[in-house]
Amino acid sequence: MNYHYPIDYTWTKQEIIDVVGFFTLIEQAYEASVERDILIAAYRKFKKIIPSKSEEKSYFSEFQKVSGYSSYHVIKQARETTDKKIKMK
């Protein structure tokens, strides 16, 4: 894909890496599959960087506009399943 990830340039280098890594896993959930435990761990890191629910929604919305992928639905499926892999349709 040829788009930019939603990031805040005031974040540290590691925070940017963690957020981009999280959104990369969201992409993988749609394009192939992703390990549920890895996704949940990445989401926890994301939430440490962006603890506010309203900010989270904003970043999720921005990412969905540029990619077409719903972070919310991937995380929802990961929380509701016990399957080891997450694959979106």
Which CATH number belongs to the domain containing residue 52 in this structure?
A: 1.10.220.80
Confidence of residue 4 (pLDDT cuts 50, 70, 90): confident
Residue 2 lies in a domain: no
Q: What's the structural domain count of the chain?
A: 1
Residue 6 and residue 44: Cα distance in Å, rounded? 17
Give the model's pLDDT for residue 89: 85
Burial of residue 86, with CB atoms counted within 10 A of its CB: 0-12 exposed, 13-18 middle, 19 or more buried = buried
**Residue 1 pLDDT greater than 70, yes or no:** no
Residue 31 lies in a domain: yes
Helix residue spans in 32-81 (DSSP H): 36-49, 53-67, 71-80
Structural domain of residue 52, as residue ranges?
13-80
Residue 89 lies in a domain: no
pLDDT tens digits for 11-70? 999 999 999 999 999 999 999 999 999 999 999 999 999 999 999 999 999 999 999 999
